[in-house]
Amino acid sequence: LVNSCPTCHFVSILPILSPFVSICLESFCSESVDIDVLRNAEILDFTFRASRSKLKFVVLDPDCISCASRTKSAYCLLATLKQSYLFGVIGAEHIDNLAEIVKYFHNSAWKVKSGGEQLTFQHNTTRVHVVRIDRRDKYWFIPSLEEVDFKAHAFRNFKIDHIHFANWSLYIPGSEVMKQWSDAEFLECNRSSAKIIQQMYIGKYEQVLKNTVINGMALFRDVLQGIGIRSMLFGGTLLGWYRDCGIIPYTTDMDMASFASEYSTKLLGTLTSNKDLEVYWQLGKPADSLELSVFYDGMKIDLFFLYEEGSTHWAGGMIVYERRKLRWTYPKITKLCSAELLGELFNVPCNVLDILMADYGETWYDIYPNENFTWYASHKNVKKLGRWSKKEWPFVYHMYMKQKKRI
C-alpha cells in the first residue's frame, strides 16, 4: 500500500488504527482521491503525531467540540470535514515547549510555521493551528487567531475531558467550560486611555476603596452564578474597567448588573446565609426596578437588574427619601463577554461602548469628578418617573442592616 501510494507516506500508522480509519486511508490511496477523504487522512496523521508529545492537545474548533461533547468521540474531527482546525495545548508554559512538538513532524510532509504564540501545520489542503492555553492569575486564557476567525476566550476554570481517537488520545473542554463558552469571548480594557488617565490624574485622587473589594465582587459573582444568575460589571465599575483598566479612585461603591429574566427566589436567602456578604437593602421588586446592595469588608457593592423592553434594556433605581422612581435606559445587551479586573474574571456587555455612551455620552472617556455630578441626575440616560405609593412602600423598600453605613 505504501509503495502504491508514495504521497501518503503516513500510512505506516495503519496497523494501529481502527478498521474505519483503515478504510479511510485505503480510499485515499485509490486512483480517484476524494478531497474529504484526503483531509480526514491528514488530520488523522496530525493527531497521531501530536499525541506522542507529553502535552495535552485540546480540540478548540466549535463544531468539533459540539459534536465531541455529545458523542465523547474524536471522530467528530472527521465528521466536520474542515480545511482548518484549531487546537489548544495545555502544558506548554513557554513557547519553547510548544516548539518541541515540531520534532514529531520531522521527515513528514507537514510544513511547520512558527508565529508568536502559535504554530501552524500545513499538509496539502489541511491546515492545523496550535495555540497555548495559558494560566493567567485566576483564569485560563486562549489567544485569538484571525486565520480561523477565533476570538480570544477566557475561563475561570478549564477542566478537560479525555476522548479516544483510534488508539491514541485527545481532549475536549469539559461540560463546565462549555457552559461558559457563549460568554467567554475576551475583551481587553482600553490601555491607551488608561495610560492617559494615569498621566493626567496620578496623585490627584486618593483611592477610596481598597483593592480587596475585588474579592467581594468575585464572591458575589460566584454566589449569583451558583443559583443560575449571570452577572456583569456595570455603571461606574464598567467605566473604570474599560477606561482606567482598574477601579476609579474616587468611586465609593462597585456596580454589577444581572438580567431580570434570570432572577431567582433563592437570591435573598442565599445572600443572607453568606457570612462574608452582608445584605444592606433591597429596593424595588423582582418585576419592577429591583436593586440589591451588599457590603463586603465595609465596602458597598450594588446589583441592578436589567429589564428587556423592545430594543432596549433598562435598570431601575430609587431616591429613597422621596420614594422617587428612576430609570436608566440602554441599548439591548444581547451577548456577554469576559474581562479581567484586578486579576479576576468577570462578564461585561460585549457592546461595552454602547453602554458607556448611553450612561456618559460621547465623552465617556473624559468624565472625571466635579461638584455638579450626581448619580440620580447627571447620567445621559436617566429619567425620573413617578413615586412609589405609600401602599407599595412596604413591598419595595427593605432595609436589612441594623446600623446604616456610609453609602
pLDDT for 71 equals: 73
**Rounded CA gap, 117 and 134, in Å?**
10
38: confidence class by pLDDT, cuts 50, 70, 90: low
Pick the range with the lowest mean pLDDT from 112-116, 136-140, 173-177, 286-290: 112-116
How far from each other are the two terminal CA atoms of the chain, in whole angstroms? 78
pLDDT tens per residue, range 291-316: 999 999 999 999 999 999 999 999 99
DSSP state of 244: I
Question: Is this model's pTM higher than 0.85 or not?
Answer: yes
Tell which CATH architecture fits domain 54-181.
2-Layer Sandwich (3.30)
Per the DSSP assignment, residues forming a β-bridge with 315 are 306, 328
pLDDT tens by residue, 345-364: 999 999 999 999 999 999 88
Cell of 182: 457563549
Are 268 and 278 in contact, with CB atoms under 8 Å apart? Answer: no
Q: How far, in Å, CA of 24 to CA of 40, rounded?
A: 7
φ, ψ at 338 (rounded to 5°) = -115, 155
What percentage of the chain carries pLDDT values higher than 70?
83
Band of pLDDT at residue 74, cut at 50, 70 and 90: low
Looking at the chain, which residues constitute the CATH 3.30.460 domain(s)? Answer: 54-181, 191-399
Sign of CA dihedral 188, 190, 192, 197: negative
pLDDT at residue 20, as a whole number: 37
Phi, psi of 112 (to 5 degrees): -115, 130
Averaged pLDDT score across all residues of the chain? 85
Q: For the chain, how many residues are written?
A: 407
Cα 338–340–343 angle (5° rounding)?
140
Architecture of the domain defined by 191-399: 2-Layer Sandwich (3.30)
